[in-house]
Amino acid sequence: MVVLCDKDIKKLLQKGEIVIKEIIEEQIGSCSVDLRLGNTFRIFKHAEVTHVDPKEGIGEELMELVKKNNDEPFIIHPGEFVLGTTIEHVEIPRYLVARLDGRSSWGRLGIIIHSTAGSVQPGYAGQLTLEIANISKVPVKLWPGSRICQLTFEQLSSPCEVAYNEKKSKYMGQEGPQSSKIILD
């Protein structure tokens, strides 16, 4: 696979083959695109939950949606895990896969941006849910609008036969942070 450089990313954005809504030029790096943190978060109601059983699903009663003003931080405490979202809506063509990674500046504060979901499949369209954890010993303020993660794009050997949007897709078109839909597996 080949990683796309800035010139190729810009060309595909201009042609509308890669779509990243609400992007500004400064977000494009030499081989990646920075994405910004949205202002909505999902947190487990840990004081009220005895356990999570993936076979039972994650009902709304297990998680709380928290919305912050754009000038108001969300404070993530040590050991805490929350779901966040990107401001940007992305659309990936059937001949690319995108890789989501946290930015190094956040990693140096102990903030992990994804625990397992690092791939954005060909044909996906929607906002990206971020699996945010604080592994440091101190609370950290997460400011909406901050460049918190980045996407790199890799070209597939050929376009996929069945894209994400052409099969039973649990997270297609998501807006805001979405809880696990593992029960649909």
Active-site residue list: 131
Contact 64, 171 (CB under 8 A): no
Q: What is the end-to-end Cα distance of the chain in Å, rounded? A: 29
Q: Are 85 and 15 in contact (CB under 8 A)?
A: no
